[in-house]
Chains A and B, each alone.
Chain A
């Protein structure tokens, strides 16, 4: 980590209760610009609730969010987006029937004035889309190619490129690799690497230890709504991470019988 940089976002002792259910019981995480912070945890560990709190969908029951050192209160996702926190959801905010460039600029359409009428500036949109896609290593047939013709990994990449283009400082990726094949996963991980190098903070949610270790700088494990600590890259082995996620002993026993394949 770069020690002289201040964290761009600090989540301090975040608690979130839904009625009598305690989804988050005091979680603290810092994220620095240019790092890929992996958030690991099994299903139901509280990962989703945590990132929804970070992206303004939920308001924390208790705890504090500091964004660039200042306390922030996100009332809805719009606030978070305006501040520069972009979320790429597991189920993408992409419309398969629409072209890549129309998707890329959806909600942020560039306009060109002809007389009193404002037109969608297709030329600009197409050029930027092609450029951004090329930077991410995707060669489109054309900007009018429909998103539906892209593979799952490519769609993730378009979504990430879009968030970056529109000025995201923190990029939250919710299980971007969970439904992808090996090669597609590699592409997405490569994209994450590129984004990180541009100085953007990436919060990478996954339950796959190998994916996390491939790109992660730091790792935070959530279990039953609590954090089990944050580890630096190189300070932790895959086996230890796996154990932390499972919350202790059960998996060790299991792993023995499965021959270390999990």
Chain B
């Protein structure tokens, strides 16, 4: 009693001192970094001359990874806030179909169609969150319901309106639209023409585009992915709201006791997830020019897998946007890279399973060191 009242602090001799190096290393992103290095080492060794690392190949796995990243950022923040959204994949299909119906069938200007679609989808995200908060049901169940509801509408609406399940012609109506370009356009075209002229990247050998570089710019999809990662990371780690996200997922009751508006945080995160899914859909629709009822199938699981590879805790309260982005990169590179490496494509799932398991084990280990969780 007397000893303990002394202001000199007691240190528990059973807690080992952690070296500065180890401390710098032990971060939520560590698993993702190790995985990224491992995956790239693997493919550089086994698939270097397969075309995976020429300009077309790099662009290919970058785009696929960027797709995963866009939905992973939303899923990551929502998971840290303690909730799931299984309706992401259906939301992608739904958003694409709505913008197609608005712009092609109804003939609205594309930018209005895009804005209305965003408003609609974010409202559905808010509804998801509101139901979860109001009923206290697990978000797993509520969003599973929306997985079916949204997919159902995505198949039903175009059949009723256009008597088909794919609506095309968006490219034509979106021609010259300023907002469509923000999703479907490309940047840095000049740089790639220069690279092509300088012989640094391959050019088309024939056809109308003969002489032009095979990769003619960075798609806005990749720009969106990077922007969302930066915004998500700053929001989570550098703002008051980020602290609330961690708190809401860590222990909603404790957070409420401390005055954190948990309900508001969770609903906003559902809306953000819906926003990310809609961005994904817009980029896809504007690039390919058609919306189909099958778009985005199973994407919710791919997002969750990327987030978990990236070190987030499924039960909430812990995770990192950078980690999720690395998880998405690993996912994309493995998915496309196995093919470059000449691995039988049906074995993709085996590899994915192995990586998922390895990543989760490694991340659990890292997390225990950081948080003292037992």
Contact = CB atoms under 8 A, between A and B. Distances in A.
Report A-B touching, CB under 8 Å: yes
Interface of A: 77-78, 81, 89, 92-98, 102, 105-109, 111, 118-120, 122, 133-135, 137-139, 141-142, 146, 148-151, 183, 186-187, 189-190, 193-194, 214
Contacts of B15: 141, 149
Given A78-B259, A93-B257, A139-B11, A214 B1 contact: yes
Given A107-B260, A133-B9, A137-B4, 15 more contacts: A77-B257, A94-B254, A95-B246, A95-B250, A95-B254, A96-B250, A107-B255, A119-B239, A120-B238, A120-B243, A122-B238, A139-B9, A149-B372, A151-B12, A190-B4
Contacts of A120: 238-240, 242-243
A197 B11 CA distance: 24
A70 B152 CA distance: 61
- The main secondary structure of chain B at its interface with chain A is loop
Interface in B249-299: 250-251, 254-255, 257-260
Contacts of B243: 98, 102, 105-106, 109, 120
Given A146-B371, A190-B5, A106 B242 contact: no
- The main secondary structure of chain A at its interface with chain B is mixed
B260 A106 contact: yes
Contact of A98 (B4, B8, B10, B250): B250
Interface in B308-328: 313, 317-318
Contacts of B344: none
Given A146-B370, A190-B1, A190-B4, A109 B251 contact: no
Nearest to B251: A95
B232 to A, nearest CB: 15
Nearest to B368: A148
Contacts of B239: 118-120
B193 to A, nearest CB: 36
Interface residues of B, number: 36
9 contacts: A96-B251, A106-B255, A107-B260, A109-B240, A119-B239, A137-B6, A149-B372, A187-B4, A190-B4
B247 interface: yes
Nearest to B259: A107
A149 B23 CA distance: 14
B7 A93 contact: no
Contacts of A137: 4-10
Contacts of B172: none
Given A98-B247, A106-B260, A111 B240 contact: yes
B371 A106 contact: no
A190 B1 CA distance: 7
A120 B7 CA distance: 30
A89 B259 CA distance: 14
Contacts of B259: 78, 81, 107-108
B371 A97 contact: yes
A13 B11 CA distance: 46
Give the most central of B18, B250, B260: most A CB within 10 Å: B250
A224 to B, nearest CB: 29
A145 to B, nearest CB: 8
B13 interface: no
8 nearest CB pairs, A to B: A149-B372, A139-B9, A95-B250, A107-B259, A107-B258, A109-B240, A148-B372, A146-B371
